[in-house]
A and B are shown apart, each in its own frame.
Chain A
Amino acid sequence: MNIRQTIERDTALLTLTGRLDTNTSPDLEQVIEELFQKGLKRMDLDIQELGYISSAGLRVILSTHKKCIKIGGHLTVLNAGEMASELFEMTGFSTILDLQQRQTC
């Protein structure tokens, strides 16, 4: 998995490419943790180019969402594809997360 970071004012845009699975989700967790430590509270996670996601990926997304709520920030999940959308529905994440479709750079 590749993680591209773009920081604009108080918002970090993370663009993910590849697979978000048990072995790659700790990388994302670490990047997000570093952003939190820098004081960033708003995250946009663009998952359009994510070809595969498992429960380990869902876990990182949920924990990021919870942390954002706790510190008064916000997580937006952008451009979920077919697989991610289906998993969000099945797990009830679709009612918890701010899911949006919009083009990022």
Chain B
Amino acid sequence: MGEWLQVCKLTVLAKQDQLGQVQNFVEKRIQGKLSPRATQHILLAVEEVFINIARYAYPQHHGAVDITCTVGQQTIALLFSDEGIPYNPLLRDKPDISLPAERRAIGGLGIYLTRELMDSMSYRREDGHNILCIEKRITPADGLS
């Protein structure tokens, strides 16, 4: 008895102005599966990951990014695949969130928040692709019917 899954894929140019389209795509797929709070967490993670790719993956030209959304009974998984330069965001330093304002770096929080808000985040380089996967568990608190 395999788990019921719904898999959808979107391909867009890795450009900042595609953010709305990417978030709408994910929001539609996960509609009604999660609490409003968990939905916000996923949409934020989608923004942070997508914008990271839009900024860093293709320094010379605008390449594509595939976003695969897999909705299962227990988890929602989002896989981002691009053919840009090798880049593992998980290797970035964690920001020091205990510093006073004057010493806080402006920025660098996006990937940190994504890691905090998702249940898992993984990266691999495979056949010339950066593959970043984030997952969120569907919990009883999400009121899944």
A residues within 8 Å of B by Cβ? 21-23, 52, 54-56, 58-59, 62-63, 65-66, 69, 82-83, 86-87, 90-92, 96
Most B CB contacts (10 A, CB to CB) among A62, A82, A92 go to: A92
Given known contacts A62-B101, A91-B97, A91-B113, is B44 in contact with A54 (CB within 8 Å)? yes
Nearest-CB distance from B106 to chain A (Å)? 5
* Contact partners of B106 in chain A: CB under 8 A: 59, 62-63, 66
- B64 interfacial by beta-carbon distance below 8 Å: no
Give the chain B neighbours of A69 by CB distance below 8 A: 101-102
Asked if B48 lies at the interface with its beta carbon under 8 angstroms from chain A, I say yes
Main secondary structure, interface of B, reads: helix
Would you list 24 pairs from A and B whose C-beta atoms are within 8 A, ordered by A residue? A21-B47, A22-B19, A22-B47, A22-B51, A23-B17, A52-B40, A54-B47, A54-B48, A54-B110, A55-B109, A55-B110, A59-B106, A59-B109, A62-B104, A63-B106, A65-B101, A66-B101, A83-B40, A91-B95, A91-B113, A92-B97, A92-B98, A92-B99, A92-B104
B84-142 at interface with A (beta carbon < 8 Å): 95, 97-102, 104, 106-107, 109-110, 112-113, 116
DSSP majority for the A interface?
Answer: helix
Give the distance to chain B from A91, nearest Cβ to Cβ, in Å. Answer: 6
A59 to B16, CA, bound (A): 17
Which residues from chain B contact A23 at a C-beta distance below 8 Å? 16-17, 19-20
Contact across chains for B37 and A83 when beta carbons are under 8 A apart: yes
Per-position 1/0 for B13-35, Cβ under 8 A of A: 00011011000000000000000
Interface residues of B, Cβ cutoff 8 Å to A: 16-17, 19-20, 37, 40, 43-44, 47-48, 51, 95, 97-102, 104, 106-107, 109-110, 112-113, 116
Expressed in whole angstroms, the minimum distance between the Cβ of A105 and any Cβ of chain B is 28
Which residues in B have their C-beta under 8 angstroms from that of A82? 37
In the assembled complex, how far is the CB of residue B32 from the closest CB belonging to chain A, in whole angstroms?
18
